[in-house]
Structure 1
Amino acid sequence: MEETIDIKELFQTLKKRLWLIGLITIVAAIISAVISFFVLTPIYQSQTQILVNQAKSDQQLYNANEVQTNIQLINTYNVIITSPAILDTVKNDLNLTETVDELTEKIEVSSATNSQVVEITVKDSSPHLAAKIANKTAEVFQSEISKIMNIDNVSILSKAEVKDDVSPVKPQPLLNIAIAIVVGLMLGVGVAFLLEYLDNTLKTEQDIEQILELPVIGVITNIKDVPKATVRQTEPIGRAQRTRGETFGS
């Protein structure tokens, strides 16, 4: 029985503070929309793919052991691609103002499981610059890897291109607004329960019984004052009735 009463009180608290919860949720959604559309800088993504093999002679056959060795070396290639040995050349060729460390943060190198294909992904506020950095990184790696390692078979499978309908990968306004709505609801519910916890005023007779541990004998309802306009209208009628009574009595 106590659990049912507690649940009822919880729902009553939420119902009483429903306007506050709704207000906080709406404000959070509006703030998120404004930040997503007008404050955050759109970030675009561009990607290129390269295939890396070991050096091999004309007589050497392309076997499974060679493929497995190449797969194991993929992690090494990923580190080399984002190393200063490659990015310094990329920075100078494109006349970039970013440092090598800043350029490294824009570039992400990955490869699928058991695959010799390496994907170079670049994120930048300019889609054209992102494509240029991705393509230049692949070209520099293709030309420099033979000097760094015994690799002479690097192929560029696909170049980064900027499409006409390119859209930013972040921010995602709809996702941000949805997250803000959820956070706003949680914050609103928390504030509602906090205000209810801090409210020590007595509102019902049940509150009195709970605090004083005494039974309530009676309840005095609110008595509204009679409006003055009503009193003025009833006085002449009363006088007229008394006058008529005196006349009939005489």
Structure 2
Amino acid sequence: MEETISLKELLQSLRKRLVMIMGITLTAVIVSGVISFFFLTPIYQASTQILVNQKKSEQSMYNPSEVQTNLQLINTYNVIIKSPAILNEVAKELNLDITAQQLNEKIIIGSENQSQVVNISVQDENPETAAAIANTIAKVFENEIVEIMNVDNVSVLAEATVIEGQSPVKPLPILNIAIALVVGLLAGVGLAFLLEYFDNTLKNEQDIEKTLGLPILGSISVIEGSQMDTVKEQRGKRNSKARGEAIGS
């Protein structure tokens, strides 16, 4: 027969193991805070924007088909920006002791929908290094794309700059702590329910009645040590009185 657990029983299970749940939650929060503030290295981000067009035309009129072609080439430009042909030159120019692949992992390339503007973001432990890499990528791309795709119309819309007191983009300690709080709470509640599920001990009359399927006729109360001494003392007095009456008769 399937056992059903009422909401009251669930709440009782949580209340019974409330200390354990709070302990797990608090531990998760403390560990997350310590790791976020003292062990994770802050990462800063710098971004630059470039506008890429096809080879300059002698006609200055707006050409919708040319704009559409440029939009279709944006994905190609994004791939070229992160290619070794560009990144090796960037590393060489900045004297970076890293490979093109390692530099690639620091770069995030994106573009707005239906836009010829390419956003180049670089993440690094040093905000000045991140800005220098972003600006150098834009510069090298502007020079190299002429030979790669015969494009000579690259404009830098916004250079990457370093802001005083700039906040890192990661880690985010408050967010990490909030996530740890939720995860710790869920883990504590889940463990409490799991322990309750595997706990087969009989704790009260209702458990016995539910397990055996028999009605409870009576129960034996637990006698504390002090009560036991009182019972023994009263029993001794009764025995003494009974012996006295027996002798007197």
TM superposition score normalised by structure 2: 0.88
Paired positions, count:
234
How far 1:228 moved relative to its partner?
Answer: 10
**Corresponding residue SS for 1:226:** helix
Q: Encode CA deviations 1:45-86: one digit per residue, 9 max, x unaligned.
A: 000000111113323533111111111111111011111111
Alignment-derived partner of residue 53 in structure 2: 53
Alignment-derived partner of residue 195 in structure 1: 195
Does residue 108 (structure 1) correspond to residue 108 (structure 2)? The answer is yes
Structure 1, unpaired ranges of 5+ = 239-250
Alignment-derived partner of residue 245 in structure 1: none
Range 49-58 or range 15-24, more displaced: 49-58
Q: Encode CA deviations 1:181-225: one digit per residue, 9 max, x unaligned.
A: 110011101111121122221110011111121111011222223
Task: Provide the C-alpha distance between the structure 2 equivalents of 1:19 and 1:196, rounded to a whole number of angstroms.
Answer: 15
Does residue 83 (structure 1) correspond to residue 83 (structure 2)? The answer is yes
How far 1:89 moved relative to its partner?
Answer: 0.4
CA separation of 1:54/1:221 partners in 2, compared to 1, >3 Å: closer, same or farther?
same
CA separation of 1:57/1:228 partners in 2, compared to 1, >3 Å: closer, same or farther?
closer
5 Å-filtered alignment, 1:66-77, equals 66-77=66-77
Query: Amino acid of the residue matched to residue 141 of structure 1?
Result: F
Alignment-derived partner of residue 138 in structure 1: 138
Alignment-derived partner of residue 186 in structure 1: 186
Alignment-derived partner of residue 242 in structure 2: none
Task: Provide the C-alpha distance between the structure 2 equivalents of 1:68 and 1:229, rounded to a whole number of angstroms.
Answer: 98
Query: Amino acid of the residue matched to residue 6 of structure 2?
Result: D
Identity over aligned pairs, percent: 61
Query: Amino acid of the residue matched to residue 197 of structure 1?
Result: Y
Alignment-derived partner of residue 217 in structure 2: 217
RMSD: 2.3
Task: Provide the C-alpha distance between the structure 2 equivalents of 1:61 and 1:73, rounded to a whole number of angstroms.
Answer: 21
5 Å-filtered alignment, 1:1-250, equals 6-59=6-59, 61-226=61-226
Task: Provide the C-alpha distance between the structure 2 equivalents of 1:77 and 1:225, rounded to a whole number of angstroms.
Answer: 85
Task: Provide the C-alpha distance between the structure 2 equivalents of 1:184 and 1:227, rounded to a whole number of angstroms.
Answer: 44
Range 148-157 or range 53-62, more displaced: 53-62
Task: Provide the C-alpha distance between the structure 2 equivalents of 1:52 and 1:72, rounded to a whole number of angstroms.
Answer: 12
Range 196-205 or range 100-109, more displaced: 196-205
Structure 2, unpaired ranges of 5+ = 238-249
Range 2-11 or range 129-138, more displaced: 2-11
TM superposition score normalised by structure 1: 0.87
